[in-house]
Amino acid sequence: MKRSAWRYLWSAEEIRNRVLITLGLLILYRLAAHVPVPGVNRDAIQQILTSGGGAGNLLSLLDLLSGGTVSNFSVLAMGVYPYITAQIILQLLVPIIPALQKRMEDDPKAGREFQERWTYYLAIPMAALSAIGQIRIFNASIPGVQVLPQFGFSGANLLPTLTTIISMAAGTMFAIWLGELISEYGIRGQGLSLIIFSGIVSRLPSTVGTLWVDQERRWLLLGAFVLLMALTVFAIVIVTQGRRNVPVMYPGRRVGNRQSMPVKGTLPLLVNMAGMIPIIFAQSILTFPAIIAQFFTSSQLEWVRNLSTGTISLFSDSRNNGYITIYFFMVVLFSFFYTDVIFQQQNYGENLKKVGAQVPGVTKGVPTQRYLNRVLQRITLPGAVFLGVVAILPFVAGNVLQANAFSVLGSGLLIVVGVVKDTFFGLETELKLRGYDDSLLVR
C-alpha cells in the first residue's frame, strides 16, 4: 500500500527538518510583520485604505502583496520587492554592458556570485527610495490626514524621518535574509517565493470576506470566485507542465574494442520555463512608477504635476484598462526575458558538445544553441500569451462583476498557485533522490 505524502515527508528526516525550519522562519516573518514603524498613526492608515481613489487602491494592492504589512505600516511594509526590483535592474544591465556580459560568459559561477552581491548592495537604496515613496503616498492621500506627521528632511523632522527610513530598509533586508535562510536550510530555492506566498495567503481570508459582505450578490460573487480560482489553477498547471521534447543522439558506450550504437534521448524544453517569476517581476515593476511619481506631485511645474498625477492614477488602479493592458504585456515580456536569461546560462549547445551528444541534422556547439533558442522562442510565445491572459482574467472579471476583491486577488492567486506547485515538485524531487519513488500525491 502506498504511503501518503505527509508520511513520506515525516519519514525522510532531512526533508522533515527542512520543512520544519521553513515553517519556523515563516512564522518568525509573520510575527515581525506586526512590528509597526515608530510614530505611525494607524487610524489615519485605515481612513486612507477605506477612502478609495487611486492612492487607496494602490495601497490596497501593496497591502495584499505584502501580507497586510502596509495596513499596519510595519517595518516589513515593502516586503522583498526592493530586492526583486534590484535583481531586475541588474539582469537588464548584463546584456547592455559588455563588461558584465563578458564576466557572465567567462565564468558563469563567479558571474552569478558577483550579480547576487551587487543585488544586495542595490536593494538597500531601492528599499530607502521605496520607503520614502510609500510614506509620501500615505501623507498625500487625504488632505489633512498625516500617517507620519514628523516626516521631512529639515529641522526637527530630519532625525525621525531618517529613523523611519532606516527601520523600513532594515525590515526589507531582514525579510531578504529570512528568505535566504529558507533557501539554504529549509526548502531549497524557494525562500523569497515562500516569503511572498506567506504574505499573500495571510490576507486571502479577509479579502474573500469582502465578497461575503455584499448580501445581495454574496453567492454569485463567491461562486464566480471559486470558478475563477479553479480555472486559474488548471491553466497554470497546463501551461507550466507543457514541453517540447527535442531529439538528441548520445554517443554509445565503448565495450572493449567495440563501440555500441548511439543512444536516442530527448531534451525537454518547457513552454513556460520562467514559472511564476514573470508575475512577480511584473508586479514589482508596476508598483514602482506610482511610488516614483509621488516625488513630483508638489512640483512647481504644472505639466510635471499633471504627469505625476496621471502616472499615479494609471499604475495604482487595477480596474483601469490601461493598467490591465500594461500588466498583460509586462507578463509576456518578462516571460521571454527571464526564459532567455535562464536558457543562456545553461548553455546546452556547449554542454551537449562536451559529452559528444548532437541534435540530429544540427551542427554541434554554437549552431545547436541557436537552433534550441529558435525552438524555445516559438514554444515560449503561446505560453507567455496564455500566462498573460490568465494574469489579467481576474481583473477583467472584477470589472464585469464590479467587485474589487477579484482584481486584487488575481496576481496573488497566480503567485500562490505557482509557489505551491514549485514547492511540491521540489519536495518530490528531493524524496526521489533519497529513494522514495512513489509520487507525493495520493493516488
Q: What are the pLDDT digits (tens) for 25-56?
A: 989 988 888 888 877 777 777 777 666 555 55
Top pLDDT among 72 and 220 is at 220
Q: What are the pLDDT digits (tens) for 227-249?
A: 877 777 777 777 777 788 888 88
Q: What is the mean pLDDT of residues 323-344?
A: 84
pLDDT at 280 over 80: no
Q: What is the mean pLDDT of residues 284-298?
A: 74
pLDDT at 330 over 60: yes
pLDDT of residue 372: 87
pLDDT at 348 over 50: yes
Q: What is the mean pLDDT of residues 394-419?
A: 68
Partnered with residue 259 across adjacent β-strands are: 254
Residue 133: how many CB atoms within 10 A of its CB?
Answer: 19
pLDDT of residue 440: 42
80 three-state secondary structure: coil
165 closest CA partner among 125, 197, 113: 125
CB of 344 within 8 A of CB of 423? no
pLDDT of residue 356: 79
Residue recorded with cell 486577488: 409
pLDDT of residue 443: 42
CB of 295 within 8 A of CB of 133? yes
Q: How far apart are CA 74 and CA 168, in angstroms?
A: 8
> Which one-letter DSSP state was computed for residue 146?
-
| Ranges of each domain in the chain | 5-433
pLDDT at 4 over 50: no
Q: What is the mean pLDDT of residues 194-221?
A: 76
Q: Work out the pLDDT band at 301, boundaries 50, 70, 90.
A: confident
Q: What is the mean pLDDT of residues 255-264?
A: 63
Q: Work out the pLDDT band at 1, boundaries 50, 70, 90.
A: very low
pLDDT at 193 over 70: yes
C-alpha distances (whole Å) from 372 to each of 57, 387, 432 are: 43, 22, 29
382 closest CA partner among 205, 256, 242: 242
pLDDT at 178 over 80: yes
Q: Work out the pLDDT band at 262, boundaries 50, 70, 90.
A: low
Q: Work out the pLDDT band at 296, boundaries 50, 70, 90.
A: confident
Per cent of the chain over pLDDT 70 is: 80
Q: 275 phi and psi, to 5 degrees?
A: 65, -135
pLDDT of residue 441: 45
Q: Work out the pLDDT band at 144, boundaries 50, 70, 90.
A: low
pLDDT of residue 442: 44
Q: What is the mean pLDDT of residues 214-220?
A: 76
pLDDT at 160 over 70: yes
Tell which CATH classification among 3.40.605.10, 1.10.3370.10, 3.30.420.40, 2.60.120.310 matches the domain 5-433. Answer: 1.10.3370.10
pLDDT at 388 over 60: yes
Residue 409 grid coordinates? 486577488
Per cent of the chain over pLDDT 90 is: 1
Residues in Cβ contact with 289 at an 8 Å cutoff, skipping those fewer than 6 apart: 311, 314, 315
Q: How far apart are CA 252 and CA 328, in angstroms?
A: 47
pLDDT of residue 63: 67
Per the confidence metrics, is the pTM higher than 0.75? Answer: no
pLDDT at 268 over 80: yes
Q: What is the mean pLDDT of residues 63-71?
A: 67
Residue 383 grid coordinates? 505560453
pLDDT of residue 436: 64
Q: How far apart are CA 193 and CA 419, in angstroms?
A: 6
Mean pLDDT across the chain: 77
